[in-house]
Chains A and B, each alone.
Chain A
Amino acid sequence: MCLAVPMKLVSREELKGVVELSGMRREISLMLLPEAQVGDYVLVHAGYAIAQVDEREAEETLELLREALAGEEA
């Protein structure tokens, strides 16, 4: 029930936003995340954006893991 999916905010008008995932678009509310900017990845739960996804943090995490993998394979 706490399922939430990262989607890209492609447009917004006041507190109404449009998000996109794999070519599918959906209208959501930005009432809980008014600071969201067009172009952000936002986490969407039950029709509301609830968090901005920190893409840099995500990439750094993966980079660290890939280094560990490379270390193993070396």
Chain B
Amino acid sequence: MEWVDDAIVLGCRPFGEGKLVADLFARSHGRYGGVVHGGRRAQPIVQAGNLVRAGWKARLSEQLGFFSPLELSEPYAGRLLDNALALSGLASAISLVRAGAPERHAYPTLYDALLVLIESLPTADIWPALYARFELGLLSEIGYGLDLTRCAITGETDHLAWVSPRTGRAATAEAGAPFADKLIRLPPFLCDAEAPIESGDVADALALAGYFLERRLFDQRGEGMPEARRRMIERLGFAGRL
């Protein structure tokens, strides 16, 4: 079995003495592990966040397999090394994909969203809001999506301001007001791409996505939220980007 595809590197680890095992997220094939020949010489290519053109081969589809050819298309990781804030966003996004996307299942929409996010990471004015959208997109892609299209009580599609922690469905400001202490705030930019992003909106969006990631993904596995996400939120706070 073999394929060739564009892929985002999710990580790598040493394998034996001279080899590496890389974890790639291929656009049309999903997450695949495989041996990278060339060992440390290939390490600049398989840095998390890099975009590569990869071929994967194995005699049997269930085998670990190996990547050949493996060519660097865009060295995103190298471009972010000096940017602490961007690097924290990259680590958090990648840790969520590794946790949320099972191996060998294609998620082209999630792949595209991750690529757009990685491309935006050098621009601190843009990426925190994009990142929050990415998390909600990830939840949706893996089957735990929220319904932010209409109010669960009135059916209205405008002025959505709350989300039910139980159902993950939105409610308008007015309909949700009596239950405000039980609902999670929904920042306008998550429903309306044209809506301005006010101070506190990114924090609210991350709190909303974080709540459902924790309950629907990590709690079910008995795992805590990734350390990388906690560190990213801390850094965003220090940088005044929440």
Are A and B bound to each other?
A: no
Chain A residues engaging chain B, CB cutoff 8 angstroms: none
> Which residues of chain B have a CB within 8 Å of any CB of chain A?
none
